[in-house]
Amino acid sequence: MLLNHLQQEIYKKYQLIILMNLSIISLLLMIIAPTILNMNTQLILLLTTVTIIGIPHGYFDFLIAKKIFNNYDNWLFKFIFIYLSLSLIYLVSWFTSPTVALATFLIMSIYHFGIEETEDIENNNIILILYLGSVPIIVPILFHTNEVFYFFYILLNQSITYQSNFDLLKYGYCLGLIALLFFKVKKLIPLYGLLLINFIFLPPLLSFILYFCFHHSIRHYLHAMGDTNIFSSHVNVTKFAIMFLVLTILFTIIVLTYMSEFSNLTFENIIIKYIFITLACLTLPHLLLNIIYENKISLK
């Protein structure tokens, strides 16, 4: 199913309503019954939503690659080989240079989020891209420093020395964001007001779920389904979605089973490592492919 511009806008409004409602429910639960959203619950929600909604949003890369490379011989084999090779190379870097790998992942995420957030904004610039893209990364670090660095500790298997008081930087960063939105893109003020509330008042894992799955990923689905260059009307969305969802679930089960059987990691460590290292390994080829695609489209 190919979405026209009007359908895209309607579905984007539905997506924002879903995000807002889930945010309100989460905030109310944190106030009324915070034990419901304990760490185990957050980990289960993280695993479930990222597996079902988050990771599969990158599977549109197949359609992008088909558009770019289908004139080449054996393009599918070459694409899969290069895509997986980049992911595996990045996976190796987590074992050889974990700090560099984590820093690279954060930088890639900032750029990727920023590009996605500004895709519908005319005359955007690198400052706007990086500032908006940094919100899901920087705000949790500033307002939930101990929790975020604890997750970094799990990912790196080593502690990081850090400053735990960012009061001046907190408010300076938020004021800078508000000023940038007010003078550059007023239409994004309601969205980023909601996102700021989530990142400031909700636990980092919960705010990440809301942003990555119910904003970033769903918006990516809608954008791809409205792109006539990659998504033709004869593509069966249901079969496409079911096939890749089954593959993702099987991959998740296999990896988690292996990690449970052959490591001494706790449930928390297994989920954190699996989710974020997997996302990091997929982000590299995903980002590079989308950069190639956008450059090719802009040259037409």
- Residues in Cβ contact with 198 at an 8 Å cutoff, skipping those fewer than 6 apart: 23, 26, 27, 206, 207, 210, 211
Q: How far, in Å, CA of 282 to CA of 220, rounded?
A: 15
Residue 108 has pLDDT above 90, yes or no: yes
Q: What range does the domain containing 190 cover?
A: 5-298
Residue 2 has pLDDT above 90, yes or no: no
Measure CA 264 to chain center.
28
Residue 197 has pLDDT above 90, yes or no: yes
Q: What is the pLDDT of residues 33-80, one digit of tens each?
A: 989 999 999 999 999 999 999 888 777 787 788 878 888 888 888 888
Cα dihedral 104, 110, 115, 121, rounded to 10, equals -160
Phi and psi for 284 in degrees, rounded to 5? -60, -60
Task: Give me the pLDDT at residue 158, please.
Answer: 85
Question: Confidence class of residue 1 from pLDDT cuts 50, 70 and 90?
Answer: low
Task: Give me the pLDDT at residue 57, please.
Answer: 78
Give Cα separations from 227 to 5, 22, 82, 156, 223 (angstroms). Answer: 10, 28, 24, 38, 6
Q: How far, in Å, CA of 194 to CA of 282, rounded?
A: 28
Q: Give the global pTM.
A: 0.92
On average, the pLDDT of the chain sits at: 88
Q: What is the pLDDT of residues 135-167, one digit of tens each?
A: 999 999 999 999 999 999 999 988 887 777 778
Residue 229 has pLDDT above 90, yes or no: no
Residue 300 has pLDDT above 60, yes or no: no
| Domains held by the chain: number | 1
Question: Confidence class of residue 6 from pLDDT cuts 50, 70 and 90?
Answer: confident
Summarize the confidence of residues 167-195 as an average pLDDT.
Answer: 92
Task: Give me the pLDDT at residue 100, please.
Answer: 94
Task: Give me the pLDDT at residue 206, please.
Answer: 97
Summarize the confidence of residues 292-299 as an average pLDDT.
Answer: 69
Question: Confidence class of residue 221 from pLDDT cuts 50, 70 and 90?
Answer: confident
Top-confidence residue, 266 or 162: 266
Task: Give me the pLDDT at residue 232, please.
Answer: 60
How many CA within 13 A on the CB side of residue 203?
A: 22
Residue 102 has pLDDT above 80, yes or no: yes
Task: Give me the pLDDT at residue 104, please.
Answer: 93
Task: Give me the pLDDT at residue 85, please.
Answer: 93
Task: Give me the pLDDT at residue 234, please.
Answer: 59
**Residue 71 class from Cβ within 10 Å (0-12 exposed, 13-18 middle, 19+ buried)?**
exposed
Which pair of structure tokens corresponds to residue 102?
């984590």
Phi and psi for 158 in degrees, rounded to 5? -160, 150
